[in-house]
Amino acid sequence: MKKKTTPLTDRQRAQIDADLAAAYDFDPRDPLFGLNREQMSGPRLKRRTVLRLMAASGTLTAAQLLPGMGAVKPAAAAGHGGGTLTCGWSGVAEIQTLDPAQINQVLQFQISSNVLGGLMHINADLVAEGNLAESWSVSDDGTEYTMKLREGITFHNGDSFDADDVLFTYQRSKDPNQSIHARVLNNVAALEKVDAYTVRFKLKQAQASFLTKALERSSGRAMTIVSRGALESMSPSQYGLMPVGTGPFRVTFHELGQGVVLERFDDYYDPERPKLDKVIIKPISAAEPLAAAMEAGDIQLIGGNPIAPELIDRFLENPDLVVDEKPAPGFQSLWMNPWHEHMKVTDFDKPMEELMKEKGFKVRLAIAKALDRDRYLKQAQFGRGTAAYGTINPAMGYYFDEALAETSAQRFDLEEARRLMADAGYPDGEGFPTLKLITTPSGRRESQVVASILKRNLNIDVELLTKEFSVGIEDFDTMNWDLRRAGSGGDYDPDDGLVDWMQSSSKFNGRKRDESKYPFGYFSEKEADALIDEQSATADIEKRRELVQKANKITSDKVACAFLFHPANILVHHKSVNYPAVSRIPGLVDLDRVTLS
C-alpha cells in the first residue's frame, strides 16, 4: 500500500521555518560555511550541522524537513530475526561486478553497500555517520581530516582491518588504470598513516562534501574499503564476483546471469545487525516476469534499476504490497553520437551562432526540441517524474534552475525543430537515415515512446536495439552507437551530474574509445570544463550556484545530450518485509536492519 501523508500542523510549520532559518544563518564567504572545528567532527554529525552543510552546499529543501523525512531514529534493537529474503533486481540480466573500483551502476552499489564498508555512510537523513571510522576531527582551515578507525574489525576472510587497508584502498582508487572513480580523490593532496588505527587526509582545499562525496561507503565508491589479502590471492575479475569486505553480509554465491547470494556475517562489528540470515538476489530483466514473481511471492522486494513505470499502479492496487515513493536524485537522457555522419559535431567550442550553421548540430538540436517531454512523461512514465533540461536535478535544491525549462535551447518547439531539420537538408525527415537506439530490455517500452515521438514530430525512423546493460555500456564506452537511452542516479551534489558526466574527462564520456579516431566522446566544451572545475573548488554558495547553472546551461544549449526527465525513486516490497525508515535512502537498498514478519 502507498504511504499516505497528513496535513502539517501549525507547530510543524513553525518548526520547519525555524530549522530553515537556522540552517541559512551563515556567512557564505567562510570556507567552512560558518561551522567550527568541533561541529565538523564526529562520530556523527549533529542534525543542525547537517542542515547547515546542506544549506551551504545548496541541497537543502523544505521537503527534507517534513515529518518523517528528518530526525529518523534507529529501530529498537530486536536481536537476530533470521530468515531468508528473496529479491528481484529489476531490469538486469546479470550483476556484472561488485568491485567498487569498477562499479558503474546503481544496481551494483545497492548490493556492495551491504557487503563492503567505508569510512563513512549516510543514513535516511543524509547525515554523515562513521562506518569504519569511529570518529574524526577537522583542522581549523578544513583541509585536514584525522580519522580514528574502529578496532577489532575483521574482513569476511578473517583478516584484521587497520590503517594499512585504508592506504591500500586509496592507492588503488586514485589510480585511473585501476579505478574509474579516481577523479573523486583529486582534491586529496596526501593520505598518511598516523598509527595503526588513525589516518589523516590532507586536502588541497576545504571541501564541505568530502565526508559524503569521497568517503561514503556505497554511492561514493572511491574509498569503499577493499581487502588487501583477498586481492593478493584473487584476480580483479574474481574479486568483482566475490568481493571480500567488512560489511554486514558476505557473498557466498555469485554467478553471471544467475544472481548473488548474501549470508549474514557473524563477526560484523554491530552484533545487532544484520537481522536476516540470507539474501537471495535474482536478476530479472523484463517487466512482466518481475511483476509475476512479486505477485506470486517468489520475491519479496525489488531492487536494481527503476521499476518499469507501467507496473507501479498495478502494484499500488495490490493490498499485499507496500509502494514507497520518494523523489530521486538523477537525470535520464537520449544520447546522440556526435561522430555519426548525420549528427556530427567535431568542435563544441564554437559559439552558438557558428554551431547553428552546421548540419549535424541542427539535427541534434532539432531532435532535442522535438522531444515533447510532457507527452513522454505521460505515456512512458505514467506521469511520474519532472521534465529535464540538464543534469542538475530538483533534489539539489538551491542549484536547480527552474527557469532552464524556458531558457534552454532544448525547450520544446515543434515548429522550430521541423525548420531546423529542413535547413539541415531533411524536410519532413526526407533522406534522413534510420537511427538505431540502444536500450535495455526493461527500458524497451519507454524507448518506444521516444521513437514514436520522433516519428510523429520529425518523421524520423528509430530502430530499437535491445541489449543487456553490460553489452550496451561497452558500445557506449567505445562510441559504437547512434542513439542511447541512459542516465544517472544518486546525484545529490552538482559534481555528481557535472563532473561525472559533462566534462571532457568524465568517467562515462567515451571512456574506452579509440582516441586517434574520436578526440572526445559524446561531448567536450572548454568553457564548461573550466566552469565545472571552478565550481568544485568554490566555497561561496552564491558564486557556486552561478557557476553550476552557467555550466548546466552550456551543456543544455549545446546539446551534450537530449535531456528527458528526472525520475522518482520507488521501493516495492511485500507487507511481510519490515523495511525501517532509517534504511530508506533513495537509490540504496540497505538490508542490514530489514526483518521478516
Q: What pLDDT does 331 receive?
A: 95
| Terminal C-alpha separation, the chain | 16
Q: Provide the Cα torsion 288, 291, 295, 299; round to 10°.
A: 120
Residues near 408 by beta carbon (within 8 Å), at least 6 away in sequence: 389, 390, 553, 556, 557
Secondary structure in 3-state letters for 66-78 = CCCCCCCCCCCCC
Residues near 95 by beta carbon (within 8 Å), at least 6 away in sequence: 89, 107, 108, 111, 254, 256, 259, 260, 281, 283
- Which DSSP category does 582 fall into? G
> If we measure between CA atoms, which residue out of 186, 227, 221 comes closest to residue 203?
186
Residue type, 516: S
Cell 535551447 belongs to residue: 409
Domains observed in the chain = 10-65 (no CATH), 84-324+571-596 (3.40.190.10), 330-566 (3.10.105.10)
- Cβ 565 vs Cβ 386: under 8 Å: yes
Kind and range of the H or E run holding 323: strand 321-327
CA distance 566 to 392: 9
CA distance 487 to 335: 9
Q: Provide the Cα torsion 266, 267, 270, 271; round to 10°.
A: 50
- Sign of the Cα pseudo-torsion (297, 300, 302, 308, in order): positive
CA distance 58 to 539: 11
> If we measure between CA atoms, which residue out of 589, 596, 593 comes closest to residue 281?
589
State how far Cα 430 lies from the chain centre: 39
How big is the chain by its Cα radius of gyration, in Å?
24
- Cβ 435 vs Cβ 584: under 8 Å: no
- Cβ 526 vs Cβ 558: under 8 Å: no
Residue type, 48: R
CA distance 242 to 110: 15
Average pLDDT by stretches of 10, the chain with 597 residues: 52 70 62 59 63 58 49 40 93 92 89 95 75 94 94 96 97 94 91 98 84 79 92 92 96 93 96 96 92 94 91 94 87 98 98 98 98 96 93 86 96 98 98 96 92 98 92 94 92 85 94 96 98 83 92 98 94 96 89 96
Residues near 463 by beta carbon (within 8 Å), at least 6 away in sequence: 434, 435, 436, 437, 451
